[in-house]
Amino acid sequence: MEKLIPNILEFFYILIGLFSIMTSVRAFRDTTNKARIGTGLFWLILGVIFAAGNFMPYMVSGILLAVIGVLTLFKQVKIGKLAELSEKEGEESAKRIGSWVFFPSVLLAAVAVGMSYTPLGGQVGIGIASIVALIVAMIITRATPKTALDDTDRMFQSVGTTGILPQLLAALGVIFNAAGVGDVISGAISGFVPEGNRLVGVIAYCLGMMIFTMVMGNGFAAFTVITAGIGVPFVMAQGGDPVVAGTLAMTAGFCGTLLTPMAANFNALPAALLEMKDTNGVIKAQAPMAFVMIAIHIVLMYFLAF
């Protein structure tokens, strides 16, 4: 089983890469897009990194990432021509499907959680759950494989360059940790957190995750740094359960995701897609719930982790 899991994960990465390459082919053929060469190169290179990243030297992957960074910097990645949607067919489908449209999303979550309790684990579970949810969605909507591919291309291009932020920010968190940023934060916090005070340690851990996530734009990037700098010395070293504290710290970081424009794929992208006049409208709507949830996290970590 230990050998099987990496192979299954590799399959999902290759599948994502192939979808990205499909988008690149469509972009290259799109004569209406003035930036079709840059757009096509971006999705082609990203697809190669996903599909063949484990089979090529790290230096090559790094150079390819730098290239797509340059393409993004010079605004050479733009949304091209997408498959047309029939408004009439859309309305008819919406009436026919009704609330069942939400079922694939719920099913995806349920299957992923269920799979996390199996030897395959949660990462493989998410991939399997996504395929199951896609098949069910196609059955419910009576969509053809072509429609699924068209909508995959639509999603890729709509999300655009912000789609790779989670991976890049998670990698940045590892780099920060390796560079000793966690030690610096630990040294700074030690001057404010009384030694042995569990409550203050929990508050510092949760708020640190939220604030650093706001800065980094991603809870994964913040987790390695804040856990090393605050979680381990001020919570886990005081007797806190690492599993409970770490899990709650991660979701505490997501409270910060609700409050920052740095989380572009969650906050900036919806505002752009919905053509909202207030670009921070999504954040303003989420802020009250974020503050309530961070308070709940502090309470839960204090009472459940010790």
C-alpha–C-alpha distance, residues 82 and 72, integer Å: 20
Q: Residue type at 62?
A: G
Which two structure tokens, joined as six digits, stand for 154? 């639509």
Buried b (16+ CB within 10 A) or exposed e, 54-82: eeeeeeebeebbeebeebbeeebbbbbee
Map tokens 């610096």 to a residue: 184
pLDDT of 273: 67
Domain chopping of the chain, boundaries:
4-73, 87-143, 163-304
C-alpha–C-alpha distance, residues 88 and 283, integer Å: 33
Query: What is the radius of gyration, based on Cα positions, of the chain?
Result: 22
> Do residues 231 and 205 touch, judged by C-beta distance below 8 A?
yes
pLDDT of 305: 93
Q: Please tell me whether residue 274 adopts helix, strand or coil conformation.
A: coil
* Dihedral pair phi/psi, residue 195, rounded to 5°: -65, 130
> Do residues 10 and 54 touch, judged by C-beta distance below 8 A?
yes
DSSP 8-state secondary structure symbol assigned to residue 33: -
pLDDT in tens, the chain (306 residues): 678 889 999 999 999 999 999 999 999 999 999 999 999 999 999 999 999 999 999 999 999 999 999 999 999 999 888 887 777 777 888 888 888 989 999 999 999 999 988 988 888 999 999 999 999 999 999 889 999 999 999 888 887 887 787 777 767 767 877 787 777 777 777 777 777 789 999 999 999 999 988 887 778 778 888 898 889 989 999 999 999 999 999 999 999 999 998 776 688 777 776 778 888 899 999 999 999 999 999 999 999 999
Q: Residue type at 221?
A: A
Cα dihedral 262, 267, 268, 274 in deg (nearest 10):
180
CA 8 to chain centre: 20
pLDDT of 70: 94
> Do residues 249 and 287 touch, judged by C-beta distance below 8 A?
no
> Do residues 41 and 24 touch, judged by C-beta distance below 8 A?
yes
